Amino acid sequence: MPERASRRIWSRRILPGMAVAATVACLWIAGPGLWLRWQADALTGAGEMLVVTLPDGSRADLNSGTALAYDFAEGRRHVTLLQGEAWLDVIHDPAHPFTVDAGATEVTVKGTAFRGPGDGGGEPRDTRTRPGPGGLGRL
Give the pTM. Answer: 0.63
pLDDT in tens, 118-128: 544 444 444 45
Burial of 56 (0-12, 13-18, 19+ CB in 10 A): middle
The arithmetic mean of pLDDT across residues 80-86, rounded, is 90
pLDDT at position 93: 87
First to last CA, the chain: 68
